[in-house]
A and B are shown apart, each in its own frame.
Chain A
Amino acid sequence: MSDLRTIKITVLRYRPEEEDAPTEQTYEVEFRDDWVVLDALNHIKDHIDGTLSFRWSCRMGVCGSCGMMVNGEPKLTCAAMLRDYYPNEVRVEPLVNFPIVRDLVIDMTDFMDKLKAVKPWIIREEEKPVSEGEYLQTPDQLKDYKQFSQCINCMLCYAACPVYGLEHDFVGPAAIALGHRYNLDSRDEGNQQRQHVIASKEGIWECTYVGECSVVCPKHVDPAEAIQQTKVATTTNRFKSLVMPWGNKK
């Protein structure tokens, strides 16, 4: 093939049974013009070094598994074209702000716990029987939350967030954006059940609106906007409840 070029890929390696601290390893990979960083990693695993560990699944920006640091930036490796880095070397590291399990695989337990805490599902005070049909929604009602529903839980926003880097208790961009997504859903009645998490000290108030979460988000969810909207709504409700304590607190 005449369009093959060779690029250097330096990968962070960490094999806890062999070494105490992460090291790095450089591979030379022949790539085609349409290859992404994930293709290079799969090439290394299949043809050069089968011991390299990393997560991936769909290869098309839907599953959210292949998020890694590429030259210091949180990226979906299935969407990072090698040709954009060539002739420079590419450094691939696991997402920062998370513990490393092995090589490029991070421990996502903290994120999963936080995601569960915001109850990202439709909550009804009372479920109507199936015989009564679906919960209908107008296109306008769908538009209210659609953007925030695009999150694929790739955790790039947690790697980009300097606040999460400093304060590991911070509920974080994706979890808050997803809680906000359900709060905005006309079929949902779970706002009160999420409020104590989202409006806690560790929730929206920890965010200083740096905005990097929205910059790196591959699905344009704009978690910073979700947090900002929630701050405004929570503040407005708080002032309302002070001025009109008899008002409906819902």
Chain B
Amino acid sequence: MNYKEHKSEPFWWGMFSQGGVIAALLIPIHIFLGGIAVHLGLIDAELMSHERLTDLLQNPLVKLYLCVLLIFPLYHAAHRIRFTLAEIGLHSLAKILPVLCYGGALLGTAVVLYILWILL
């Protein structure tokens, strides 16, 4: 067997790993704040109103935060889906799966950037 160090895999795994941390730590907080706390009356609904959140988005730091929150988990999902599909039997597609999965994440990245920095 001729082994060769894989040069791109650390990058994708690094994105997967960071995305996992963000998905596990930050996304539940957002689900709690927006999806549960407001409806239970734990926080004032006014704080999460559309106008207030739209105003917040004018701050580039908030945009940057949303980029991190939305983009990294895309790579986490892409990596997971890639390996899951290969392991459930699509092994013959092993060469094309990374292109499709990470390509999807890259496309998602472009969509997030477009919405946050151009549309809003």
Contact = CB atoms under 8 A, between A and B. Distances in A.
Nearest to A195: B5
Contacts of A205: 6, 9, 13
B65 interface: no
A121 to B, nearest CB: 18
A83 B28 CA distance: 46
B109 interface: no
Contacts of A117: 1, 3
Interface in B1-43: 1, 3-7, 9-11, 13-14, 17
A200 B4 contact: yes
Q: What is the interface of chain B mostly: helix, strand, loop, or mixed? A: helix
Given A113-B1, A200-B5, A202-B3, A208 B14 contact: no
Interface residues of B, number: 15
B87 A166 contact: yes
Given A235-B10, A238-B10, A197 B3 contact: yes
B95 to A, nearest CB: 11
Interface in B46-88: 83, 87
B6 A208 contact: no
A201 B1 contact: no
B3 A200 contact: yes
B3 A162 contact: no
Interface in A219-250: 231-232, 234-235, 237-239
Given A162-B87, A208-B83, A239 B1 contact: no
Nearest to A197: B3
Given A235-B10, A238-B11, A196 B87 contact: no
Contact of B6 (A199, A232, A237, A239): A199
Contacts of A169: 1
A203 interface: yes
A66 B49 CA distance: 66
B6 A163 contact: no
B4 A163 contact: no
Contacts of B87: 162-163, 166, 208
Contacts of B11: 235, 238-239
B10 A203 contact: no
B91 A196 contact: no
Contacts of B14: 235, 238-239
20 contacts: A117-B3, A166-B91, A195-B5, A196-B4, A199-B9, A200-B4, A200-B6, A201-B6, A202-B1, A202-B3, A203-B3, A205-B6, A208-B83, A208-B87, A231-B10, A232-B17, A235-B11, A235-B17, A238-B11, A239-B10
Interface of B: 1, 3-7, 9-11, 13-14, 17, 83, 87, 91
The 9 A-B pairs with the shortest beta carbon distances in the complex, nearest first, are A238-B10, A200-B3, A235-B10, A205-B9, A235-B14, A197-B3, A196-B5, A201-B6, A199-B5
